[in-house]
Copies of this chain bind each other. A is one copy, B any other.
């Protein structure tokens, strides 16, 4: 547990914006000015494998979530922002998936799509991103 790793984890725990690696890098650098982007990536990967961080696929860049408790996400189809969503896990989804598949199911993630309040206010027919 190096100083870098601790600070990365701490900063990630502070924010709820699901930052990208470089957004987190910017924050961490305020406390450790000499840290490199590579170190941020390496630690994020390690922490993800250790289960202390969740890596999210959202658009071109990946985002990271310091909250590993069970919760889902919404992604804005306008600006790409990702927000947490406190919704109960649907009853028996994984069991259903197990029945429907020959995969050994170990988990699931739900990503809702929608428009954030700001994008909604901004215009009715704004351009959508094709990103998943």
Contacts and interface: CB of A to CB of B under 8 A. Distances in A.
A131 B55 contact: yes
Given A93-B87, A97-B87, A103 B74 contact: yes
A62 B114 contact: no
B103 A114 contact: yes
A121 to B, nearest CB: 11
Tallying the copies of this chain within the complex gives: 2
B87 A96 contact: yes
A116 interface: yes
A113 interface: yes
Interface stretch (A4-12, A19-27, A29-37, A104-112): A104-112
B113 A110 contact: no
A23 to B, nearest CB: 17
Contact of A117 (B58, B97, B103, B130): B103
A96 to B, nearest CB: 5
A13 interface: no
Instruction: Select the residue from A102, A111, A130 with max chain B CB neighbours within 10 A.
Output: A130
Nearest to A105: B114
Nearest to A64: B132
